[in-house]
Amino acid sequence: MRNRRSGARMGEDGRGSGTVMSLLLVPAGLLLAAGFGVHSKTIETTGTPRITLTNLAGQVVVRGWDKPQVHVEYTVHSPRVEVDTELMPPSGAADKVRFTTHVLDPLVSASEQGADYTLDIPAGSSVEIRNPQGSVQIEKVQAYAAVESVGGRIVVNDFSGHLIARTVGGDIEILRPSGRVEAYSITGNLHFVSAATSKLRASSTSGRILYEGDFAEGGDYILSAYSGDMDIVCPRSSSFELRAKTVRGKLDNSLFLTPKRKASSPAYSGNSLLGTHNTGRASVELTSFSGTIRVRPQ
Amino acid sequence: MAEGDFRQNPGCAQFDRELMDYLEGEARPFVSTHARECAFCSVLLADLEQVRFSVRQLPLQEPSPVVWANLHARLEQEGVFRPSVRGWGWWESLRALARPAPLGALSSLALLGVMFIATPSALQLPETAASASSAPQAAVVASASFPEDRELARMTQDLEDTFRANEGLLAPDTRATYEKGLTSLDDSIRECKDSLRQKPDNTLAQDYLLTAYTRKAEILTSALEFQGR
């Protein structure tokens, strides 16, 4: 690990002279079996640091905890890959921490271009993660998280604050979030469970969208699919105002709705459904171009 | 270092030249190296990164209902705005502008998007290649080619051309993921256009078409950033 605070390579990174000797002496098979070793480091931070992680492939797991520290463990996929750490300010509790995976040899194969990370971070951290061909899992972070992947899966559990998750082809799964959530994918599936969010924005072009659970009082939910199906599975006791529209798809509702107006609006040429379930405490807007929208009880 | 010395120090000058590229995500190791050695540049870099980070965290504010109402009324008054307009997908996609990206292309898409939303009547402009139809009006509607559409298509095509010229730089898995996404978006663009040829006033199809173009520009931009690393 190259530490930007000191400008010196850290001893625990496995890239010092001891590691060079090990590379020379330890049989390659044994080294590969050990995954080039797990490297770890604990960094003193403020209670609300900004943490950025840029990886290429591999697994990234981020967990919130109640200590003003960042503890990182990582394993590089190849000796021709290294991890840099930058800290700001240069001394004292860091307010900004950046981890970057670098490929030292451009000829390294795609499967070797990444690292697996596990981070424990202050729950109040703001986090930005880019892991194009790897998965990202976030648990119990309470402030802000922006996560991007190309083909990797994103899983977020028990998040509160403002979450933005984007993929091109990876699935996104968000369980028990609160606050504001945005999730976008092109071909990936989106799955939400018990989203007690003030705002939820979600769209997938050809992936499926599955929402399971109740809606928060006053919550504003907008979900959009293009060709993929959308399933809303909620308790009969849930309370929301529903606006569902599709251009060429189908609407399939199994919940009792008090109609707000006639089903087909003059301003809209597809199928639409507008009504209130129970007292309409949340706002739910569902749109699809050619997929099927299903609303049914749990 | 005194501020007056900043431009005269070769290291600071190089730092200055590379700073913007560094902030846009390019690999510029000199910038961070120099910042560790130069107190002035270190403070400058820290401030700029703080600003950039703060900007990214700003909540996406939609214009107030009053602004929308006034705009709506004005457009209706001028006869260029017929159906109700819903722009949620568009506003969401503007968040992409907070990322380092070919902002010019995306900004132009944004402008064209506004034009597209605000001028659905343009959908009814005739096209020279209109298919023959027994009903002249139907032929006009069916053509459904309009300046904004062509401009949107041209801009995303420019991005795609650049992507195609460099796609060999991507790992096979990554390239396959982008290809699948682009195919999905191209399908949706084609279907939305077909739908709008039949029903030009379908605002939901208009939204989907615009969103598909925007998403396509976003993932091409993302791919180009990735290729540049």
What is the rounded average pLDDT of the residues A50-68?
Answer: 96
Same domain, A106 and A220: no
Same domain, A93 and A188: no
Residues B185-218: tens digit of each pLDDT? 999 999 998 888 888 888 888 888 888 988 898 8
Same domain, B72 and B183: yes
Compare CB distances from B57 to A126, A206, A227 and report the shortest one's residue.
A126
Same domain, A206 and A114: no
The minimum CA-CA distance between A277 and chain B, rounded to whole Å, is 23
Q: What is the reported pLDDT for B63?
A: 53
The domain total for chain B is 2
Is A178:A158 a contact under the CB 8 Å cutoff?
no
| Contact B89/A at CB under 8 A | yes
In the block, tokens 């420019």 appear at: B158
The DSSP code sequence of A160-216 is EEEEEEEESS--EEEES-EEEEEEEESSS-EEEES-EEEEEEEEESSS-EEEES---
Same domain, A166 and A278: yes
The minimum CA-CA distance between B37 and chain A, rounded to whole Å, is 10
Cα(A51)–Cα(A54) distance, rounded to whole angstroms? 10
Q: Which of residues 9-48 of A touch B (CB under 8 A)?
A: none
Compare CB distances from A133 to B32, B46, B174 and report the shortest one's residue.
B174
**Boundary residue ending a domain (A75, A102, A120):** A120
Same domain, B16 and B90: no
Ramachandran category for residue A14: left, alpha or beta (phi over 0 → left; psi -120 to 50 → alpha):
left
Cα(B196)–Cα(B190) distance, rounded to whole angstroms? 10
The percent of residues in chain A predicted with pLDDT above 70, rounded, is: 85
How far is the first Cα of chain A from the last one, in angstroms, to the nearest whole number? 49
* Partner-chain contact B89 A168, CB within 8 Å: no
Same domain, A90 and A165: no
The domain total for chain A is 2
Comparing B29 with B228, which gets the higher pLDDT?
B29
Residues A180-206: tens digit of each pLDDT? 999 999 999 999 999 999 999 999 999
**Boundary residue ending a domain (B57, B73, B103):** B57
Q: Are strands A39-54 and A154-157 parallel, antiparallel or unpaired?
A: unpaired
Same domain, B75 and B187: yes
What is the rounded average pLDDT of the residues B21-26?
Answer: 79
* Partner-chain contact B83 A267, CB within 8 Å: yes
Output the six-digit token pair for B174.
């990554």
Same domain, B20 and B130: no
| Per-residue DSSP letter, B96 | G
Same domain, A58 and A175: no
**Boundary residue ending a domain (A95, A120, A145):** A120
Residue-number span of the structural domain to which A80 is assigned: 1-120
Query: B20: Cβ–Cβ under 8 A, 6 or more apart, which residues?
Result: none
The percent of residues in chain A predicted with pLDDT above 90, rounded, is: 74
Output the six-digit token pair for A143.
């402030």
**Boundary residue ending a domain (B30, B57, B84):** B57
Residue-number span of the structural domain to which B15 is assigned: 3-57
**Boundary residue ending a domain (A72, A103, A120):** A120
Same domain, B127 and B204: yes
Per-residue pLDDT band for B221 (boundaries 50, 70, 90) equals confident
Lowest mean pLDDT of A229-243, A245-259, B101-115, name the range. Answer: B101-115
- Indicate if the pLDDT at residue B96 is higher than 50: no
What is the rounded average pLDDT of the residues A19-24?
Answer: 41
Q: What is the reported pLDDT for A226?
A: 96
| Per-residue DSSP letter, B223 | H
* Partner-chain contact B88 A222, CB within 8 Å: yes
Same domain, B29 and B112: no
What is the rounded average pLDDT of the residues A198-227?
Answer: 96
- Indicate if the pLDDT at residue B85 is higher than 90: no
Same domain, A287 and A165: yes
